[in-house]
Amino acid sequence: MTERKVIHGGKVCDGSGAEPREQDILIEGARIAEVGAPGSFDAAEAERIDATGLLTVPGFIDAHSHGERAKLRYPENRSKLLQGITTEVDGNCGVSWSCIPYELDGKWRWEGLAGYAEAVDRTGCSTNTVILCGHNSIREKVMGRRNALANADELAAMRKFLERALAGGAAGWTTGLTYCRGKFSDTAELTALGEVTRGTKRVYATHMRSEGDDLIAAVKEAIEVARAGSGILEVSHIKTIFPRNFHKLDELLDTLEAARASGLTIYADRYPYVYSSTIISQTLPEPYFHDPDISAKLRASAAFQDEITEALKHSPRDLPTTIIMKKKRTLAQIAEAEGISIERACMREIMERSGSAAFLCMSEDNMRRILAQPWVCCGTDSVSMQLDDPASIGHPRSVGSFPRFFRVGSEMCGVGEAVRRMTALPAEIFGIPDRGLIRRGCVADLVMIESDKFDSHAGFRGENPFPAGIRRVIVAGRTAWDAAKPETVGRYGRFLAINR
């Protein structure tokens, strides 16, 4: 007999944009059988789940995740699941180890997306996985780390990698054009790859070549690449960085609206924080910014250390407020403790390959204007973490993006619209079937929250990592996490192949 459950006594926000209303949900097996008025369903031989005082919403979809490897290492994926995320879209910013031959920790090995999908399903993760094929990864596989334009043979090889990934169920492809490998490409290379998606509905998602000084040129390039392909563009973590560029938001939005009016389909994702986070080497000015071997060169030469220390006086980033994530301190604090200049402290972090840093570079007003756009969904821009590991310290967006997006979005446009942009909208963008809505026939990925308490107070030093107000998370009809049994995590997620 198919397992039956009835969620009763609370309100439902179905993901369509409609405001919450009192409804019951009947689940049979992995899917929603019916949604009806309170008391509609015979509870005989069904598990009853009391939702009194709670709001039930579709499982949240993280439109911008970097969890491909981490979710195999930490399959409970608490940092995502405890926000109510039930599906992650991985492979963003051009990086997708899943779409190339790869070996991880000596435990997993795959030749391409089919093998990665098998590894995810065999491991058993708490969240579902959707994959985008990363340009940076396939470029490095074909060309190594060379700072060079692709020749015809290399471009053909990259196209084959992309074709195989799409045939294996990738939802689209991504670029990371401020990072090594991606930054070495030109627009012609990108449009040639984009042509692989022509005639499909596979999305092009891009961490653009600039989010600051050259923002408008970068978004025009993104539009050109999307137009050469499927005509569907998703701008990753859309923003305007550095105060001198905050005024460009109007032109950015106007440019995107003009492209939409010309026939393109355009979306974006955004996390609700004004600190960004990326690798510490992003502090480097030109021409050092393009050097993939900068850390090794610094370790080899004291003179080069002095050269970079001097160059960092012209960094595009605000160095004093930059937080080195693994040290939980700002560069100003590190410099003061060591009795050195901020520039030398930054040089040492680059030399030591300290990993991620958080950069204060965005405007609160611009963030709210961006989040008000009906085509902007939520993304964490983060990896999967367990939360009980002291080493799992990252930007608070890793654990708090969805609660904060819900709070800000509800204030600006109402609960129903905020929920739509965390559920049905990303399902639409990436073509994720039968998810993002609470409707008959949809997969029963659901989240039950105390809507007045749902929030995050996570900080940059690892404090308050657990969101407030989450009561239960259901994946494919089964309880994956229950606040009454917080130590137990059900690993019911699957790889979701996208074919459209």
Parallel/antiparallel/unpaired status of strands 356-360 and 470-475: unpaired
Structure tokens given for 142? 């074909």
Evaluate the omega torsion of the peptide bond into residue 292 and state whether it is cis, within 30 degrees of 0. no
The range of the structural domain enclosing residue 320 comes to 278-358
User: Are 127 and 164 contained in the same domain?
Assistant: yes
| Residue 93 included in any domain | yes
Look at residue 105 in the predicted model and tell me its pLDDT: 95
CA distance 497 to 129: 9
Look at residue 355 in the predicted model and tell me its pLDDT: 82
**Which of 358, 388, 417 finishes a domain?**
358
Q: Has residue 356 got a pLDDT over 90?
A: no
User: Are 134 and 227 contained in the same domain?
Assistant: yes
- pLDDT tier, 388 (very low <50, low <70, confident <90, very high otherwise): low
**Which of 313, 331, 358 finishes a domain?**
358
Four-CA torsion 348, 384, 271, 190, nearest 10 degrees? 80
Look at residue 471 in the predicted model and tell me its pLDDT: 98
Look at residue 129 in the predicted model and tell me its pLDDT: 98
User: Are 67 and 124 contained in the same domain?
Assistant: yes
Cβ proximity of 55 and 198 under 8 Å: no
Q: Could you tell me the CATH number of the domain that includes residue 127?
A: 3.20.20.140
**Which of 294, 323, 358 finishes a domain?**
358
Q: E strands within 309-406?
A: 323-324, 329-330, 356-360, 376-378
| Residue 460 included in any domain | no
Q: Give residue-wise pLDDT tens across range 310-345.
A: 999 999 899 999 999 888 899 999 999 999 999 999
User: Are 53 and 64 contained in the same domain?
Assistant: no
Domains: count for the chain: 3
Look at residue 349 in the predicted model and tell me its pLDDT: 95
Q: Has residue 389 got a pLDDT over 70?
A: no
Look at residue 462 in the predicted model and tell me its pLDDT: 80
- pLDDT tier, 2 (very low <50, low <70, confident <90, very high otherwise): confident
User: Which residues have a Cβ under 8 Å from the Cβ of 221 and sit 6 or more positions away?
Assistant: 187, 190, 208, 209
User: Are 236 and 298 contained in the same domain?
Assistant: no
| Residue 499 included in any domain | no
Q: E strands within 45-134?
A: 47-50, 55-58, 60-62, 85-90, 102-104, 108-110, 128-131, 133-134
CA distance 13 to 419: 7
Mean pLDDT calculated for residue range 194-205: 98
Look at residue 392 in the predicted model and tell me its pLDDT: 60
| Residue 459 included in any domain | no
Look at residue 148 in the predicted model and tell me its pLDDT: 95
Structure tokens given for 313? 């006086």
Q: Tokens 């022509």 belong to which residue?
A: 198
Mean pLDDT calculated for residue range 449-477: 93
| Residue 333 included in any domain | yes
Other Cβ atoms closer than 10 A to 336: 13
User: Are 70 and 101 contained in the same domain?
Assistant: yes
Q: Could you tell me the CATH number of the domain that includes residue 483?
A: 2.30.40.10
Look at residue 386 in the predicted model and tell me its pLDDT: 78
User: Are 199 and 301 contained in the same domain?
Assistant: no
* Alpha carbon 114 to chain centroid, angstroms: 22
| Residue 496 included in any domain | no
User: Are 265 and 284 contained in the same domain?
Assistant: no
Q: Give residue-wise pLDDT tens across range 211-223.
A: 999 999 999 999 9
Residue of 458, 465, 469, 481 whose CA lies nearest to 410: 469
User: Are 266 and 283 contained in the same domain?
Assistant: no
| Residue 500 included in any domain | no
User: Are 336 and 484 contained in the same domain?
Assistant: no
Look at residue 393 in the predicted model and tell me its pLDDT: 63
Q: Give residue-wise pLDDT tens across range 96-135.
A: 999 999 999 999 999 999 999 999 999 999 999 999 999 9
Q: Has residue 297 got a pLDDT over 80?
A: yes
User: Are 53 and 12 contained in the same domain?
Assistant: yes
Mean pLDDT calculated for residue range 253-278: 96
User: Are 414 and 318 contained in the same domain?
Assistant: no
Mean pLDDT calculated for residue range 290-303: 91
Cβ proximity of 102 and 110 under 8 Å: yes
| Residue 463 included in any domain | no
Q: Has residue 44 got a pLDDT over 90?
A: no
